[in-house]
Amino acid sequence: MRHGFTCVIAAAVLVAAPMAAAAQVSASPRTVDGRPNLQGIWQVLNTAAWDIQDHPARLGVPAGQGVVDRGVRTIYTDGTPHPEGSINWWMGDSRGRWEGNTLVVDVVHFTDQTWFDRAGNFHSDGLHLVERFTPAGPDHINYEVTVEDPAVFTRPWKMSMPFYRRKEANVRLLEYDPGLLLDQEQAERERRTTR
């Protein structure tokens, strides 16, 4: 009898599991106005910071597969258009809209001074991005960006990667103050230098 009893429990668990997974997706958090709530601390788990393309390992750089086929950004979601150019902003001008559950962000008015990665992949000031943030459950966002820049690329191309929600208790973004850090580095160097 004990054996039979255990089987019933196991079956119930098997049935319940897929339902729980489905419920998890639909239970993605919402803001009070009903939009997907994308707030949180997110991180990618890939090597795109070194190189957005396939790359072998180098000293200090882990090998990684490409992601081809991140200051403060204000993304306006009030339906206003891009201001008239030409404007050269480090972060561009971002205008967002909702397509169903997806936040679609159109970005123009860049400088030509930024890179995609540490490998030096670059763009002109004519760069046009369309970013798509789609919730894929409470702790994942599928991020996709279409890159268009006729002055540098022969055709539009895409990168795609999941964002993972940081789940540590009390996780938060801390500060990176380059002015202060440069001062400290300089003071440290002077302390080490014998005169």
Q: Which positions touch another protein (CB under 8 A)?
A: 31-33, 37, 39, 71-72, 74, 91, 170, 172-175, 177-180, 182-183
| Smallest distance from another protein to CB 41, Å | 10
* Phi and psi angles of residue 130, each rounded to the nearest 5 degrees, phi first: -125, 115
By C-beta, is 32 or 45 nearer to another protein? 32
By C-beta, is 31 or 160 nearer to another protein? 31
| Smallest distance from another protein to CB 95, Å | 16
By C-beta, is 69 or 175 nearer to another protein? 175
Which DSSP symbol is given to 79? S
The DSSP line for 96-161 is EEEETTEEEEEEE-B-S--BSSTT--B--TT-EEEEEEEE-STTEEEEEEEEE-TTT-SS-EEEEE
By C-beta, is 54 or 183 nearer to another protein? 183
| Smallest distance from another protein to CB 31, Å | 5
**64 touches 47 (CB < 8 A):** yes
| Smallest distance from another protein to CB 40, Å | 10
Please choose, from the candidates 137, 143, 134, the residue with its C-alpha nearest in 3D space to the C-alpha of residue 70.
143
| Residues composing the chain | 195
By C-beta, is 59 or 169 nearer to another protein? 169
| Smallest distance from another protein to CB 143, Å | 20
User: CA-to-CA distance for 149 and 129, rounded, in angstroms?
Assistant: 9
